[in-house]
């Protein structure tokens, strides 16, 4: 049986030579799986990356033994396949030729059974190699060392081609400046000290066992697909996570003053660790009032004054207001800039950050000026939800309940477990965000620009025709949060559905009971101010979902069975509003 590692010594100008073959590498059955599994149950390989001298091979051998996995050293495999040392490959054919072969070797090693793989110091600095490692499902772990730790390990080593006849300290500093931003794309970082290999291996194993990979949900758009990442600790890794999808490591951050005080330092550190240049860090006042023309114009001027160009990405750090405002600026500035969503509220994580709807409010109504502008990636760091005020968390949960009513099984989960999410339970919140994003990603992929004549993305507006009207009537002054308006709207939509004979008569009571149980206003009468039927109907007639002057509502036959209707008699809606507490 032969082994083909795909590394052939081919002079750059010569015709391709046959790939060398050798004895097959056999892998013993692992005694235990590695600590992280790919969704579906297949164990992951572990790839160690880092500078020359960081201990990838010595740590890798010990780690492999503990995990019961085969150990592979990429450099040793290359030398065995090529039949000559790496120093000679570099000298005869140059680094680009070596990197190409190295990439093929790594990809093939990771295509088989799980292994612990030690890579050469420059391997992970190659974009195609990083992509191959990511695509394989392996866990990349960076052994990060300082110059004083590395220097004794590399000085005088003739087997390291880049250190031949060079000052090792100067070489290390140069390589660190060039490679560390790419190493920062690794899934896990372990700071290595001047300690025994066994001690470092202990810390590496603990880091692996304590690490939870984020869930990755694809938004499968034909023209601009992207991923939603859901998990904890994503702000600290932001640079490494977003770098692969951006044209340059250059950003401008838009946030609001409250969020910036809490989370901007972590985001900046995560970006700078991956070598990002932050052209500007701009903030707007918290609240819905920032989603209007004057703040939008001020933001546009500030972005342009900061020297942004077509390769500068706009990063929205905040809730739905910041995401909508910054996204609209990204759509308009220089006729379109790359855009990254980093939502920090439950409402934004489960709803507004996914789907590419951006915009600002007008006096006539909510989100009436805007654009579809899809993000390149969404980082939903569920860890930041612990900093949300209780009212904000409850308001965000209204959108989870909406998604539950649209999806069906998620509504059953809401009734059984939703109170845990509102109480701040980390596992419940992650489930709520993940399943909400899964639903929304599927709906957006099927109807990106809300053009489906019936159903489609319009179904995501369940409760919003009523909710937006109530919110607009309150003047976006903070007295009613968006999610609170949606919560009342869900109850009204369920009541309208029952009035039309579409759903079981008990459903409105179930919806309102659950909404009230989690601490949200469930009925119009729960609000401290009054509303008139005339004012609310006027707001609804200006809703962007109106077609040919007819109001359109998202209605329910049952949880998991929604539909759109444009033939609801206005008088029926008026009667419903009066029963709910509106006057006139």
160 among annotated binding-site residues: yes
Q: Using alpha carbons only, what angle is made at residue 83 by residues 78 and 88, rounded to the nearest 5 degrees?
A: 80
344 among annotated binding-site residues: yes
Two tokens at 301?
Answer: 């001027």
Two tokens at 428?
Answer: 């419940």
Q: Among this protein's residues, is 211 annotated catalytic?
A: no
403 among annotated binding-site residues: no
Q: Among this protein's residues, is 363 annotated catalytic?
A: no
DSSP-H helix ranges across 408-518: 409-422, 426-446, 464-473, 482-499, 507-517
479 among annotated binding-site residues: no
Catalytic residue among 482, 495, 514, 545: 482
Catalytic residue among 144, 403, 431, 468: 468
Catalytic residue among 144, 440, 539, 545: 440
* CA 350 vs CA 314, 543, 551: distances in Å: 20, 22, 26
Catalytic residue among 237, 273, 394, 457: 457
530 among annotated binding-site residues: no
Q: 325, 333 in Cβ contact below 8 A?
A: no
245 among annotated binding-site residues: no
Q: Among this protein's residues, is 180 annotated catalytic?
A: no
180 among annotated binding-site residues: no
53 among annotated binding-site residues: yes
Measured CA to CA, the distance from residue 110 to residue 39 in angstroms comes to: 17
**Helix axes of 74-82 and 86-93: crossing angle, nearest 10 degrees:** 70
Catalytic residue among 102, 185, 288, 399: 399
Q: Among this protein's residues, is 450 annotated catalytic?
A: yes
Two tokens at 404?
Answer: 């539950």
Helix, strand, coil distribution of the chain in percent, nearest 5: 50, 15, 35
352 among annotated binding-site residues: no
* CA 77 vs CA 74, 103, 106, 142, 146: distances in Å: 5, 12, 9, 20, 27
Give me the residue label for tokens 């974009």. 127
363 among annotated binding-site residues: no
121 among annotated binding-site residues: yes
Closest C-alpha to 321, from 337, 297, 341 = 341
Catalytic residue among 130, 438, 464, 495: 464
Catalytic residue among 77, 102, 450, 484: 450
Q: Among this protein's residues, is 185 annotated catalytic?
A: no
Measured CA to CA, the distance from residue 368 to residue 458 in angstroms comes to: 16
With 0-12 CB in 10 A as exposed, 13-18 as middle and 19+ as buried, what is 443?
A: buried
Q: Among this protein's residues, is 461 annotated catalytic?
A: yes
Q: Among this protein's residues, is 440 annotated catalytic?
A: yes
Q: Among this protein's residues, is 539 annotated catalytic?
A: no
351 among annotated binding-site residues: no
75 among annotated binding-site residues: yes
DSSP string, 275-317: T-EEEEEEEE-SSGGGSSHHHHHHHHHHHHHTT--TTPEEEEE
Catalytic residue among 44, 130, 357, 539: 357
249 among annotated binding-site residues: no
Beta-bridge partner residues of 21: 4
57 among annotated binding-site residues: yes
Two tokens at 89?
Answer: 């490959």
Two tokens at 520?
Answer: 């949200």
Two tokens at 352?
Answer: 């507004």
Catalytic residue among 263, 430, 438, 461: 461
126 among annotated binding-site residues: no
58 among annotated binding-site residues: yes
456 among annotated binding-site residues: no
User: Within 10 A of 561 (CB to CB), how many other CB atoms are there?
Assistant: 13
320 among annotated binding-site residues: yes
Say which residues have a Cβ less than 8 Å from residue 495's Cβ, sequence separation at least 6: 508, 576, 579, 580
SS3 398: helix
Annotated binding site for NAD(+): 320-324, 344-345, 357, 366
- Active-site residues, by number, are 335, 357, 399, 440, 450, 457, 461, 464, 468, 482
Annotated binding site for substrate: 75, 99, 121, 179
Specify binding-site residues for Mg(2+). 57
Q: Could you tell me which residues are annotated as the binding site for ATP?
A: 53-58, 160
Known binding positions: 53-58, 75, 99, 121, 160, 179, 320-324, 344-345, 357, 366, 399, 464, 482
């Amino acid at each position: 049986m032969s082994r083909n590692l795909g590394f052939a010594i081919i002079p750059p100008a010569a015709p391709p030579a046959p790939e060398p073959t050798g004895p097959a590498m056999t892998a013993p059955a692992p005694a235990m799986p590695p600590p992280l599994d790919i969704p579906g149950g297949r164990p992951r390989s572990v790839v160690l990356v880092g500078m020359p001298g960081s201990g990838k091979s010595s740590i890798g051998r010990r780690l492999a033994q503990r995990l019961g996995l085969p150990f592979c050293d990429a450099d040793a495999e290359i030398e065995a396949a090529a039949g000559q040392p790496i120093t000679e490959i570099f000298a005869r054919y140059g680094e680009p030729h070596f990197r190409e072969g190295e990439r093929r070797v790594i990809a093939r090693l990771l295509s088989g059974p799980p292994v612990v793989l030690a890579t050469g110091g420059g391997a992970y600095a190659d974009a195609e190699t990083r992509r191959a490692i990511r695509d394989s499902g392996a866990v990349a772990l960076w052994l990060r060392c300082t110059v004083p730790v590395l220097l004794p390990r590399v000085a005088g080593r003739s087997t390291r081609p880049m250190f031949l006849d060079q000052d090792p300290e100067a070489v290390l500093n140069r390589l660190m400046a060039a490679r560390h931003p790419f190493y920062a794309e690794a899934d896990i970082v372990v700071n290595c000290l001047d300690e025994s290999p066994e001690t470092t291996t202990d810390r590496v194993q603990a880091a692996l066992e304590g690490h939870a990979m984020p869930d990755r949900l694809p938004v499968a758009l034909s023209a601009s697909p992207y991923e939603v990442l859901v998990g904890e600790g994503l702000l600290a890794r932001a640079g490494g996570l977003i770098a692969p999808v951006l044209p340059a490591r250059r950003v401008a951050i838009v946030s609001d003053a409250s969020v910036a005080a809490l989370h901007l330092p972590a985001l900046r550190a995560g970006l700078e660790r991956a070598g990002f240049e932050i052209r500007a860090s701009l903030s707007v006042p918290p609240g819905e009032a920032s989603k209007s023309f004057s703040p939008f114009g001020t933001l546009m001027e500030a972005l342009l004054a900061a020297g942004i160009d077509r390769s500068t990405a706009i990063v929205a750090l905040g809730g739905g207001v910041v995401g909508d405002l910054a996204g609209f600026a990204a759509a308009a500035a220089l006729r379109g800039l790359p855009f990254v969503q980093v939502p920090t509220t439950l409402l934004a994580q489960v709803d507004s950050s996914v789907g590419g709807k951006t915009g600002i409010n007008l006096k006539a109504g909510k989100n009436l000026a805007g654009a579809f502008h899809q993000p390149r990636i969404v980082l939903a760091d569920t860890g930041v939800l612990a900093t949300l005020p209780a009212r904000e968390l409850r308001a965000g949960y209204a959108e989870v309940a909406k998604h539950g009513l649209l999806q069906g099984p998620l509504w059953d989960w809401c009734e059984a477990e939703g109170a845990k999410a509102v109480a701040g339970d980390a596992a419940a919140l992650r489930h709520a965000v993940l399943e909400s994003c899964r639903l929304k990603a599927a709906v957006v992929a099927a109807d990106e620009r809300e053009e489906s004549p019936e159903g489609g993305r319009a179904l995501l507006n369940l409760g919003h025709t009523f909710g937006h009207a109530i919110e607009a009537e309150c003047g976006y002054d903070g007295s009613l949060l968006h999610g609170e308006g949606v919560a009342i709207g869900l109850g009204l939509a369920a009541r309208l559905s029952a009035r039309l004979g579409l759903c079981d008569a008990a459903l409105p009571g179930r919806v309102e009971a659950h909404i009230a149980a989690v601490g949200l206003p469930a009925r119009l009468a729960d609000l401290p101010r009054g509303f008139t039927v005339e004012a609310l109907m006027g707001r609804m007639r200006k809703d962007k979902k109106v077609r040919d002057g007819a109001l359109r509502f998202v209605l329910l036959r049952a949880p998991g069975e929604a539909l759109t209707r444009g033939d609801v008699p206005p008088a029926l809606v008026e009667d419903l509003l009066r029963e709910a507490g509106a006057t006139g």
